[in-house]
Amino acid sequence: MDYSLLASEMRRLALVGGARIMEIYEADDFDVKVKSDASPVTEADEAADAIISAGLRASFPDVLLVTEEQAETHSKTGNTFLIVDPLDGTKEFINRRGDFTVNIALVEQGVPTRGVVYAPAKGRMFYTDHTGRAVEETGALALDQVGDLTPISVSEPDNAALMVVASKSHRDQATDDYIGKYSVRDMTSAGSSLKFCLVATGEADLYPRLGRTMEWDTAAGDAVLRGAGGSVVRFDDHTPLTYGKEGYANPFFIAAAPGVALRKA
């Protein structure tokens, strides 16, 4: 794999896909449909998916591509694959809350090793560079010019005063009960894969997810968090979350800085 080309293409396609999403987001109205699993999908999901998928297939024709919006890709598995969620946080998009992201990742041997998370409405972009180091790009986020890159790293948490981030749209009593096992200084909420990025930058120490997710929801954020020194583990046994599972469904998981003393359920 040419990691330099991959980092460049992931960044470019996230920006182009994000620009198309924002065109639709800023329109007076947009189409919303319901998929077979009862989850919503908008014309922005589909438009961004078309852009990103075409770009990845052109640049990496020999690499398996799995994308949320193309059901025919969900039955294919491999040791190395690209995985895309063109618009994570569709409910945030529909409600015009801004907490939605473009997600592209590379998985190798069950591990997300490279990824980009771009929040176009917030103007924040996180990705792994060609070495796998996690960075945040600031500035204009121009297509033809890479802005200032700041290496990001997880916090050194104080287990007596943790900062916790949880979902905006999927918060439930089970999640609150689990968070209650920790000594929490403060809590924040965020939509989509931005929660991984808040842990990656040290803005939060812990993100537990006790709800259904798919690998395309988590792979890019997981890659960024790993590149910042953090980890994502299964909720049940605290072993690393792996990718390439049949059907691409995830178990419950916990994302955290390594200094967090994880609690059992």
Question: Which pLDDT value is given to residue 168?
Answer: 67
Of 7, 47, 37, 21, the residue nearest 129 (C-alpha): 7
- Integer CA distances (angstroms), 190 to 15, 29, 36, 74, 150, in order: 21, 24, 26, 27, 22
Of 122, 121, 125, 81, the residue nearest 103 (C-alpha): 125
Q: Which helix (H) or strand (E) holds 3?
A: helix 3-25
pLDDT band at 265 (very low <50, low <70, confident <90, very high): confident
Domains contained in the chain, CATH given: 3-151 (3.30.540.10), 162-256 (3.40.190.80)
Could you tell me how far CA 83 lies from the centroid of its own chain? Answer: 11
Question: pLDDT tens for residues 116-145?
Answer: 999 999 999 999 999 999 999 999 999 999
pLDDT band at 169 (very low <50, low <70, confident <90, very high): low
Q: At what angle do helices 3-25 and 43-59 cross, to 10 degrees?
A: 160
Report helix, strand or coil for 65.
strand
The answer to whether the CB of 76 falls within 8 A of the CB of 244 is no
| CA pair distance 248, 135, nearest whole angstrom | 27
